[in-house]
Structure 1
């Protein structure tokens, strides 16, 4: 068994929150160690064009994450390709076990493990991800100006996405497998009153259809849940809006969570229910879920970790 590594700041996760935290912690001379996890770069690595990152009129998601990783390395952060299998938050220093067998003892811990959109699990959905299939209207709605789009879902997320997409799309079809929505009544009222939105009740998406050259969506096939009859809906964009799952498995039994697993932080802070443990990015954010807000929370987490260490009088 290898000797445990003692670090002042351990960052778990490598999306915008994790890399930003690494930059700030490194600039504070805290020698942070960032463990990338099984998907280095997070959700942006499966995003094509990003047009809402300040300073970049248009950049590919994977390219943006490469730049963020390089920035973190240049500031002095140690970035390691490894996956954390368990953490023990019962006492400080906190203990993190990894798949490689290395154990980390951390004076402070910054959790930036993110969240994953829930998908339908269709093979055709997988083919067109990033090429007409999306799980984020705020991120990608702009690309469908004047086009017809389809949204799948029936909760708040689906209704909010459908309403947002009317700012760009010529028509929005909401496909829901039941005969009534689960969304809040005020949201339903706005949906029903919007002339751009059409609802297809009692249907579920059976297949996404499109072209290979170039790769792109041309429509979806929706199946009636009772009769099995297929309805073809032409569209250029298909948005899956059935919710997100925060990647909180490591800490869900040790930290306070809400809304299905999102880590709770104190107001105007990234501090969690355990002193010295901070959480940032989509792991805590069930409202905005944007790269830029994740980065801001990563900055906050690093600054708060620095302040916490100073108050604890931790020596190098």
Structure 2
């Protein structure tokens, strides 16, 4: 099937459902009297076979719905709250409504976008994948619908809006170095798109500040609090432990702060902690966490505007937009080295 376009007849043959019924399921025909299990079987086959609706045959793209779908790993993530708000503001200004769906940080629902396209009339997608990035982005490409990646990257040709992660992490390392810290730990993902960019910024920041890279201080611990705790335990157990930690987000920072309390290390007296992304959560941690500030709402806002240009047939001025950090918000979690 990879060498030719998958058709409704192919889906019908694979599922044992008539082509007419497959077409009516695709169009979400309320008068169709078939079991929900049959509909789900057809929709699953659509995803597995890589079927893309023919715009001329179905008219899906010809009659626009005025709706966009945004697929994020987790809807309740502090960072995504701001991104979604910016996206909704742009959608409102341009006369669109928005559907929000969570794919799961572990990529539990990689076919969510395909199911939305097969059962709802949406004009395009904003996509921010969880884990299994390569598989999920390949699925997005097969949709055949306009799509913009939000803080994710496939290649220079695929539309995307991203943060300048490296520049932000370098700001953080420079701040710690100016406070006298030389042994700095990295807690977060060291893989996937965001993790590799932030780790690259960490290494460049050390080099620019004339500091030595110690691989023992780099821990691939993911993006959640439990990972932050595990990573902090690993580096703080070292005899020559770091005097400062860069955390890839507030959840990881919260885990590091919790371990510091358990070990009797005062923050920032014995350990400084700095986090990626600024936001209200940074003020709620104890102590409040110094963070790298980005206009996260601009990330969502620019992504929607780019997507609507694609939907209406305009050519975006650039396939990608990179948003730089606005600076550091210095709070109580960082201070001069006390050794």
The TM-score normalised by the length of structure 1 is 0.34
Structure having the higher Rg: 2
The TM-score normalised by the length of structure 2 is 0.32
- For CA contacts below 8 A with separation 6 or more, give which structure has more relative contact order: 1
More helix by share: 2
